Amino acid sequence: MTQADWTTVRLTAQLAALTTLLLLVAGTPVAWWLARTRSRAKPLVASLVAMPLVLPPSVLGFYLLLLMGPQGPVGQATEALGLGRLPFTFTGLVVASVLYSMPFVVQPLQQAFEAIPERVLEAAATLRASPWDRFFSVALPLARPGLLTASVLGFAHTVGEFGVVLMIGGNIPGQTRVLSVAIYGHVEALEFAQAHRLAAGMVVFAMVVLVTLYVVNRPTGAAAREAAR
């Protein structure tokens, strides 16, 4: 591969890693709240989180572009704070990626938290464990498979983004050109050999992701014996 292709791979990996980290930090409290709350607002919040699953990426990218543009409220706020404009920057890509990949992190975490037996948390409470202790010492360790699944899905989904990153970031070499956009650019220029190298790498990456998810979610111990019955 060329130096430009390696730069694209590095930029894509940085975007996916930073997006996944931010999603785990921001998405874990949201997933915990959705798993434990009985609020009437739960369906609305869950729907907002899941919106990227059904919304065309170009639609989400279009409205993010309006919000972060010079006439949008977010764009005006970033300009007033001296942060400049987010569209067609790496920071803008991160913001768009976090919003677009949100359900791929929150939903696995929510399912993992919902699978924790209530009696386990009640037992911790009877031992005078504070809510913070119950969350960090009991809930998070028990939800580890969900955390791993959420991390893998969040990273993989960010790597495969196209519509949103193209709308927000464009195709600036070394700044916003990620793998999916680079493949599209090679095909558009009839550079099929270059496109094939990048696309084949994506196929291998997808296979590794699927195998990893299978291994992480494979039943072990008593659960495996129960599933085999």
List pLDDT tens digits, range 26-64: 999 999 999 999 899 999 999 999 999 998 888 999 999
Task: Please give the pLDDT value at position 206.
Answer: 87
Q: Report yes or no: 49 and 101 within 8 Å, Cβ to Cβ.
A: no
- Which fold, 3-55+86-221? MetI-like fold (1.10.3720)
What are the pLDDT tens digits along the chain (229 aa)?
778 888 999 999 999 999 999 999 999 999 999 999 989 999 999 999 999 999 888 899 999 999 998 888 998 998 888 888 888 999 999 999 999 999 999 999 999 999 988 888 888 888 888 888 888 888 888 898 899 989 989 999 999 889 899 999 888 888 899 999 999 988 988 889 989 989 998 899 889 888 888 887 776 554 444 444 4
Give the closest residue to 21 by CA, choosing from 150, 123, 115.
Answer: 150
Q: What pLDDT does 34 receive?
A: 94
| 13-35 per-residue burial string, b: 16 or more CB within 10 A, e: under 16 | eebbebbbebbbeebbebbbebb
**Within 13 Å of residue 86, how many CA atoms lie on the same side as its CB?**
27
Q: What is the pLDDT of residue 132?
A: 86
Mean pLDDT score across all residues of the chain: 88
Please check whether residue 95 is in contact with residue 64, taking contact to mean a CB–CB distance below 8 angstroms.
yes
HSE-up of 122 (CA within 13 Å, CB side)? 3
Terminus-to-terminus CA distance in the chain, angstroms?
50
Do the beta carbons of residue 60 and residue 95 sit within 8 Å? no
The burial of 224, by beta-carbon neighbours within 10 Å (0-12 exposed, 13-18 middle, 19 or more buried), is given as exposed
Contact residues for 193 (Cβ-Cβ < 8 A; gap 6+): none
